[in-house]
Chain A
């Protein structure tokens, strides 16, 4: 299923983008010295900048990009809607609200956020599933998204309310909500690893039945799959992945929409090909955006969330204009 001519080029692209992110930005450092560090030498200061400032950002960019790309691909296939986005399940809004509550209660963005935002993501997603289950429409992806959009709107306004109440919280939340992978450390990365591993297993288990669901629910059942179980698995995986990504980088819009879109344009409509392509493409987008965010207004930085949108929009436009996008 990896058999698309774009698979290896996508990984090479990620490699180049990753290398660039180690060589440029986040701390002033001459290119020659950055190379020296990569070769295992370099001054103390150069080593600090490359290995302690830039490398964790690269790693976090890798993980968030992977999570958002895969989550987006899963959700778009499940809902058969190429415009579906992980944020639609109430996941981003749930974690944003949870983080806001925590900040209101006295936490700062540097502490606490990882677990809080994951808990919020799961709670948000759980509420959406519960709402559809109570109505007895739990297996209808369209209603799932509708319920998600409703809950998202509700939680967003509650978050705004918190920002109105407390000025300090408002500043912290505003910073967090634009999204950033700067100033994070390895510890924050490791707290998300268990959920990432769990969702990885879920994705492996559901990929094949999810692909067959694209042929229709009756066909999938006829092939011995259990669509209800697959849908539940997908929703949980999307919540876990988006929750982890949001915990690490804030609610980054657009990545979960654009990356699977590009992957599908390159590899065709089969979810397994899309997923394989999302693995390198998601991280490539975030890391490229992050590198740009350091370079554009150096020595200060642009918010990452702004760059992903600025980078994603033209890519999406070019793809839409030049290629036929397979329908889902």
Chain B
């Protein structure tokens, strides 16, 4: 049913994380059906689509949070369901949306949770753990906030602290579910730029993003989903067309190229005349 661009099969060979024939369901309700996706190594992939199209379900499937009904998710060549949870967590970090932490938890406390996959039952806090936490604080540029309680931070600072927890997990793969939802424009840019920085250091990143212009601006690769299927995947400039936007959101618009970044910009958006 891929009526636009299919995932190039050459991409899948070197993809650290991919899904093949993935079908996922909640009870009797099929959310994703027979879907193929591959995350290109070292790139940022944005998953876009209307509400309820299965974006978060896809992310849950890719991260081994939920079991697929059919098909498989392949992590570094192995079926992810055959791998122990801890081993997956050493390769792949997931940051869900709308996270909440107990009151009074400090930024450092939170980031330390990211070390769990690397610790045994009784193992003490190691030098490696300490170094990872310090590097995560530095990467997210929140060293000055290390001892602050999360509930005293601004939305953007708090979200950077959560991302820092995932950084401390030191995984080559990072999956983020709407990392900028409920953030104002300034804080959104703050988080997106951090994500770009991480990709620049070689992480493979996939994020669910609601805002299509941001997806085009910050992702190397866009996956457009509609009704549990992928209807387009590839570089933003190739994938994002007025027809695709019509299919996704039921709106018409004009597209322009951002002179600075070359990414598509949506103009003159209006509801489609049916």
Q: B143 in the interface, Cβ–Cβ < 8 Å?
A: no
Of A204, A212, A214, A224, which one neighbours B86 at CB under 8 angstroms? A224
Chain A residues with a Cβ under 8 A of chain B: 204-205, 208-209, 211-212, 214-216, 218-219, 221-226, 268-270, 324, 326-328
Interface string of B64-82 (1 = CB under 8 A from A): 1100000000000000000
Known: A204-B121, A212-B113, A269-B104. A218 touches B85 (CB 8 A): no
Cβ contact within 8 Å between B102 and A222: no
Cβ contact within 8 Å between B113 and A224: no
Cβ contact within 8 Å between A269 and B117: no
**Residue among A205, A216, A324 with most chain B CB within 10 A:** A216
Residues of the A chain whose Cβ atoms lie less than 8 Å from the Cβ of B103: 268-269, 324, 326-327
Of A208, A214, A226, A324, which one neighbours B116 at CB under 8 angstroms? A208
Smallest Cβ-Cβ distance to A326: which chain B residue: B103
Q: Is the interface of A mostly helix, strand, loop or mixed?
A: loop
Known: A204-B121, A208-B116, A216-B96. A222 touches B63 (CB 8 A): yes
Bound state CA distance, A92 and B96, in angstroms?
38
Cβ contact within 8 Å between A218 and B105: no
Cβ contact within 8 Å between B85 and A225: yes
Q: B222 in the interface, Cβ–Cβ < 8 Å?
A: no
Residues of the B chain whose Cβ atoms lie less than 8 Å from the Cβ of A221: 63-65, 85, 94
Q: B141 in the interface, Cβ–Cβ < 8 Å?
A: no
Bound state CA distance, A268 and B95, in angstroms?
24
Known: A204-B122, A223-B117. A214 touches B96 (CB 8 A): no
Residues of the B chain whose Cβ atoms lie less than 8 Å from the Cβ of A224: 84-90, 116-117
Residues of the A chain whose Cβ atoms lie less than 8 Å from the Cβ of B94: 218-219, 221-222
Smallest Cβ-Cβ distance to B85: which chain A residue: A224
How many residues on the B side are at the interface (Cβ–Cβ under 8 A)? 32
**Residue among A224, A268, A324, A327 with most chain B CB within 10 A:** A224
Q: Identify which of residues 107-140 in chain B touch chain A, using a CB-to-CB cut-off of 8 Å.
A: 109-110, 113-114, 116-117, 119, 121-122
Closest 6 CB pairs of A and B: A224-B89, A269-B102, A222-B94, A224-B86, A218-B96, A326-B103
Bound state CA distance, A326 and B104, in angstroms?
7
Chain B proximity of A209: nearest CB distance (Å):
8
* Listed A/B pairs (7) with beta-carbon separation below 8 Å: A205-B121, A209-B116, A212-B113, A215-B101, A218-B65, A221-B85, A224-B90
Of B86, B89, B102, B117, which one neighbours A270 at CB under 8 angstroms? B102
Cβ contact within 8 Å between A270 and B109: yes
Bound state CA distance, A226 and B67, in angstroms?
13
Bound state CA distance, A221 and B95, in angstroms?
10
Bound state CA distance, A326 and B149, in angstroms?
12
Chain B proximity of A233: nearest CB distance (Å):
12
Q: B6 in the interface, Cβ–Cβ < 8 Å?
A: no
Known: A218-B65, A218-B94. A223 touches B113 (CB 8 A): yes
Smallest Cβ-Cβ distance to A80: which chain B residue: B102
Chain A proximity of B128: nearest CB distance (Å):
16
Bound state CA distance, A326 and B102, in angstroms?
7
Cβ contact within 8 Å between B117 and A216: no
Chain B proximity of A144: nearest CB distance (Å):
20
Q: B100 in the interface, Cβ–Cβ < 8 Å?
A: yes
Chain A proximity of B67: nearest CB distance (Å):
12
Residues of the A chain whose Cβ atoms lie less than 8 Å from the Cβ of B95: 219, 222
Residues of the A chain whose Cβ atoms lie less than 8 Å from the Cβ of B117: 223-224
Residues of the B chain whose Cβ atoms lie less than 8 Å from the Cβ of A268: 102-105
Residues of the A chain whose Cβ atoms lie less than 8 Å from the Cβ of B110: 215
Bound state CA distance, A66 and B130, in angstroms?
32
Apart from A208-B119, A222-B96, A223-B116, list 17 A-B contacts with CB within 8 A.
A205-B121, A212-B116, A214-B101, A215-B99, A215-B100, A215-B113, A216-B99, A218-B94, A221-B64, A221-B85, A222-B65, A222-B93, A223-B89, A224-B84, A224-B90, A225-B116, A269-B103
Chain A proximity of B176: nearest CB distance (Å):
11
Smallest Cβ-Cβ distance to B122: which chain A residue: A204
